[in-house]
DNA sequence: ATGAAAGCGCTAACAA
DNA sequence: TTGTTAGCGCTTTCAT
């Protein structure tokens, strides 16, 4: 067993042809005479030759690799994005290079810069402030972002968080809730939109929401935040959480504090992660189409790589998923008066 | 803005030195005179030069990239592996190249072969039969596997599934269960060990388990399998599932069928995924240290890359996590007679 | 401490 | 259809 892999020259020698011929053969970029083709085939076979993609990339300038930077692979929302992106990548003969920045703003930039050099393009999910994204434009590589950036014209995809939040609030209002709390995650770029969506809906009803902030987008942070909300002076009858993970933690802790769920309080989240369904009570949420977001981002990037410059910002439609955690309360309007499905909220600031 | 990035030659020209000097400077492989260093620094700065890692890799033969092939990024068990592996990689200045084979045996091999060419080493989680792993040895790259392979001496890591299963069965027996079902996943390389662990424990008590098989390691498959088990002639009072995901689905469906949990039946799984804790009843499971597995695999690979050939197979210790889904039944032995913590089962076939 | 030159494995004109 | 040749951007002896 050789230590070093055979090169194109070894094949050329073994087959008695030139290296150019071998190159053309492996790239299928030409037809060959029968004897040459046979020799090539057997030489490659017997040597176990495989073309070195690095050498190839150096010349062609393309690696057929896409970099994906995400905040935390453990969050099912991001997992779904990876899944979707990976599927499209594979279909187009690309490989995914993943980097998990672990919610660390400090790591983000150096990691992304390093990654960008080894790939044809990048898909980035970041918590960096909108205006410090400038440097990404200097990567000299196509980039697709999650979340719309108001300052730079970078292709991006997202789900309409304003609408999602509006829908969720509307549902809760229709179910007869009156005391709202919003447990957000201020570091996320979606948080403001969600607050605005909730407030816009509540305003119309003459209601308000008390806003709290979680330390992280995780169940642990949801647990942590629970008692201050549930045992404070303004006990809500409905809590809208920044995401399902926070909601899951909140539910668990609320129970530990002695509350009966969903009787005492309704809880809802965003993302529709796969495990909300298995919680008890099963979690009401808004499906943000995470997997589709990943697919779309990859599609956009591949288009950009092919020179087809696509529309700047693609917005996906959220879908309300009603489960057990948000039951009907006493004093709810008649069910036929404003069914959620018919609610027709105005579009928020994210739409043109 | 230039279309093409500056090369080492541009820097050399700008700084008035040779390319060799620039190379040595960027690699920090030498000391320089003050004036040269200053020129170099400013030239690199003003041109925005970044060394091309592809060209570098072609010569040095190392990419500082590790390939990780997993079966399904959506499964939290694998997510944790990725997390652990990624952390160690980053610490050692490696980047993770991820490929999700989507539980498809057909895709596995070509994907892994393609990936292996672009990386320094591979970590592979596979469902391929033990004896068709031969070709991985022909990758000419260090490989670390999950799960011990009896036929080939490949470095690998795993958790002692036999012991894990034994512990879980022992716990259930101690809690007074008598009618056992094991809902496995036959395609997994761990399944047999788990069956043996359960059976070894039950044998000692003169008990048996009815063995079922799920179609996939997913909640949906758990739901699917539930009615045949719970409504069949041999209704169990304890169901051990191949993993937590299957268990979660099983719980949901059992409830939908009208069973009260955990009163009517106890459910347990393996992996200790983060969401078992938020289910209701909270899921009893065995922590297999998924994240640690990822870390260890990466550590082993990095050792192998450094020439330090490590022990062949590293076995992690499982830990029982008792939660609400496996309560005490009538007729359980006195709690002080055989506390689980003291149970001292014999080691199974996986140990030396 | 610095530079000249020879490639790494491959592709892409251009010739034959 | 096949071969010759000149690099891609960089590292690495080996001189100086």
Interface test with A, best of B1, B64, B73, B138 (most A CBs within 10 A): B73
Categorize the per-residue pLDDT at B334 as very low, low, confident or very high, splitting at 50, 70 and 90: low
Same domain for B216 and B196? Answer: yes
Residue B331 resides in a domain: no
CA B57 centroid distance within chain: 29
Same domain for A130 and A38? Answer: no
CA of A5 to C1' of D13 (A): 23
What b-and-e string marks burial along B325-347, b requiring 16 or more CB atoms within 10 Å of the CB?
bbbebeeeeeeeeeebeebebee
Residue B350 resides in a domain: no
Nearest C-alpha neighbor of A339 from the set A96, A175, A121, A127? A175
* CB-contacted nucleotides of strand C (7 Å): 1-5, 7-13
Q: Is the peptide bond before B281 cis (omega within 30 degrees of 0)?
A: yes
Same domain for B223 and B201? Answer: yes
Q: Do A74 and B96 touch (CB under 8 A)?
A: no
The C-alpha atoms of residue A185 and residue B212 are separated, in whole angstroms, by 43
Categorize the per-residue pLDDT at B1 as very low, low, confident or very high, splitting at 50, 70 and 90: very low
Same domain for A42 and A73? Answer: no
- Reading the block at residue A222, the tokens are 């949801």
Nucleotide nearest to B61 (CA to C1'): C8
- Nearest amino-acid residue to D5, taking CA and C1': A20
Same domain for A185 and A260? Answer: yes
Contacts of A271 in chain B (CB under 8 A): none
Q: What is the pLDDT of residue A150?
A: 81
pLDDT digits (tens, 9 = 90+) for A287-296: 999 999 999 9
User: Which chain B residues in 2-21 sit with Cβ < 7 A of strand D?
Assistant: 4, 7-9, 19-20
Same domain for B155 and B165? Answer: no
Q: What is the pLDDT of residue A176?
A: 96
Categorize the per-residue pLDDT at A3 as very low, low, confident or very high, splitting at 50, 70 and 90: low
State chain A's mean pLDDT as an integer: 91
Half-sphere exposure of B76 (CA within 13 A, CB side): 23
pLDDT digits (tens, 9 = 90+) for B46-83: 999 999 999 999 999 999 999 999 999 999 999 999 99
Q: What is the pLDDT of residue A34?
A: 92
Q: Residue written as tokens 């003003």? A: B46
Look at residue A350 and tell me whether its pLDDT is greater than 90: no
By Cβ distance, the residue of B52, B83, B248 closest to A278 is B248
Which comes out higher in pLDDT, residue A128 or B58?
B58
Residue B207 resides in a domain: yes
Q: What is the pLDDT of residue A334?
A: 61
Domain limit, last residue, from A246, A272, A288: A288
State chain B's mean pLDDT as an integer: 91
- Nearest amino-acid residue to D12, taking CA and C1': B20
Q: Stretch B153-168: mean pLDDT, rounded?
A: 95
Same domain for A171 and A209? Answer: yes
Q: Stretch B5-10: mean pLDDT, rounded?
A: 94
pLDDT digits (tens, 9 = 90+) for A59-115: 999 999 999 999 999 999 999 999 999 999 999 999 999 999 988 888 889 899 999
Q: Do B118 and A52 touch (CB under 8 A)?
A: no
Residue A45 contacts B where some CB pair is shorter than 8 Å:
no
Lowest-pLDDT range of B144-153, B222-231, B268-277: B144-153
Residue A26 resides in a domain: yes
Nearest C-alpha neighbor of B276 from the set A323, A106, A275? A275
Q: Do A275 and B86 touch (CB under 8 A)?
A: no
The C-alpha atoms of residue A153 and residue A300 are separated, in whole angstroms, by 14
Which comes out higher in pLDDT, residue B310 or B286?
B286
Is the separation of the CB atoms in A325 and A175 below 8 Å? Answer: no
The C-alpha atoms of residue A255 and residue A146 are separated, in whole angstroms, by 35
Look at residue B343 and tell me whether its pLDDT is greater than 50: no
Q: What is the pLDDT of residue B3?
A: 61
Contacts for A351 with CB less than 8 Å, ≥ 6 apart? A160, A315
Same domain for B102 and B193? Answer: no
For residue A274, what are the domain limits?
161-288
Asked whether residue B187's C-beta has any atom of DNA/RNA strand D within 7 A, the reply is: no
What sections of chain A are H helices per DSSP?
Answer: 8-15, 19-26, 34-47, 53-60, 76-91, 105-116, 134-137, 161-174, 191-204, 219-230, 244-256, 290-305
CA of A14 to C1' of D2 (A): 16
Q: What is the pLDDT of residue A132?
A: 80
Q: What is the pLDDT of residue A347?
A: 41
Is the separation of the CB atoms in A149 and A135 below 8 Å? Answer: no
pLDDT digits (tens, 9 = 90+) for B111-122: 999 999 999 999
Residue A33 resides in a domain: yes
Same domain for A122 and A222? Answer: no
Which comes out higher in pLDDT, residue B113 or B4?
B113
**Chain B, window 54-73: residues with a beta carbon less than 8 angstroms from a chain A beta carbon:** 54-55, 57-58, 63, 65, 73
Categorize the per-residue pLDDT at B173 as very low, low, confident or very high, splitting at 50, 70 and 90: very high
pLDDT digits (tens, 9 = 90+) for A221-235: 999 999 999 999 999
Residue A86 resides in a domain: yes
pLDDT digits (tens, 9 = 90+) for A140-196: 899 999 998 888 888 999 999 999 999 999 999 999 999 999 999 999 999 999 999
| CATH number for the domain that contains residue B184 | 3.40.50.2300
Same domain for B152 and B169? Answer: no
The C-alpha atoms of residue B236 and residue B250 are separated, in whole angstroms, by 13
User: How many angstroms separate the CA of residue B74 from the nearest CA in chain A?
Assistant: 6
User: Chain B residue closest to A138 (CA)?
Assistant: B1
Q: Stretch B311-339: mean pLDDT, rounded?
A: 82
By Cβ distance, the residue of A87, A96, A280 closest to B279 is A280
Number of domains in chain A: 3
Look at residue B218 and tell me whether its pLDDT is greater than 70: yes
Residue B232: C-alpha distances to residues A52, A227, B209, B235 (Å): 57, 44, 14, 6
Same domain for B111 and B224? Answer: no
**Chain B, window 163-222: residues with a beta carbon less than 8 angstroms from a chain A beta carbon:** 219
CA of A110 to C1' of C4 (A): 35
Residue A2 resides in a domain: no
pLDDT digits (tens, 9 = 90+) for A12-34: 999 999 999 999 999 998 899 99
The C-alpha atoms of residue B200 and residue B164 are separated, in whole angstroms, by 12
Same domain for A126 and A112? Answer: yes
Contacts for A131 with CB less than 8 Å, ≥ 6 apart? A151
Residue A346 resides in a domain: no
User: Chain B residue closest to A76 (CA)?
Assistant: B74
């Amino acid at each position: 067993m050789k230590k070093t892999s055979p090169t194109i020259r070894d094949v050329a020698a073994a087959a008695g042809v030139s290296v150019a011929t071998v190159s053309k053969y492996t790239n299928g970029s030409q037809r060959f005479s029968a004897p040459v083709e046979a020799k090539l085939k057997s030489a490659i076979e017997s040597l176990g030759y495989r073309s070195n993609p690095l050498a190839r990339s150096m010349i062609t300038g393309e690696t057929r690799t896409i970099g994906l930077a995400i905040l935390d692979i453990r969050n099912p929302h991001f997992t779904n994005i990876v899944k979707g992106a990976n599927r499209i990548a594979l279909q187009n003969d690309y490989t995914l290079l993943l980097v998990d920045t672990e919610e660390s703003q400090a790591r983000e930039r150096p990691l992304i810069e390093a990654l960008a050099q080894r790939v044809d393009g990048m898909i980035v999910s970041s918590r960096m402030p909108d205006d410090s994204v400038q440097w990404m434009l200097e990567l000299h590589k196509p980039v697709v972002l999650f979340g719309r950036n108001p300052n730079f014209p970078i292709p991006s995809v997202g789900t309409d968080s304003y609408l999602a939040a509006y829908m969720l609030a509307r549902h809760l209002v229709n179910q007869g809730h009156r005391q709202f709390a919003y447990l957000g995650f201020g570091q996320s770029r979606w948080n403001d939109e969600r607050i605005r969506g909730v407030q816009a809906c509540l305003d119309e009803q003459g209601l308000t929401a008390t806003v709290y902030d979680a330390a992280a987008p995780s169940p642990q942070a949801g647990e942590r935040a629970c008692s201050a909300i549930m045992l404070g002076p303004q006990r809500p009858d409905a809590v809208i959480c920044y995401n399902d993970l926070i909601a899951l933690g909140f539910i668990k802790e609320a129970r530990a504090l002695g509350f009966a769920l969903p009787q005492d309080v309704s809880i809802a989240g965003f993302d529709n992660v796969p495990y909300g369904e298995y919680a008890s009570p099963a979690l009401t949420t808004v499906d943000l189409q995470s997997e589709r977001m990943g697919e779309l981002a990859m599609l956009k990037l591949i288009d950009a790589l092919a020179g087809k410059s696509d529309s700047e910002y693609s917005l996906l439609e959220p879908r309300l998923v009603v489960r057990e955690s948000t039951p009907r309360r006493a004093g709810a309007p008649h069910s036929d008066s404003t069914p959620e499905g018919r609610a027709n909220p105005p579009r928020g600031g994210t739409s043109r």
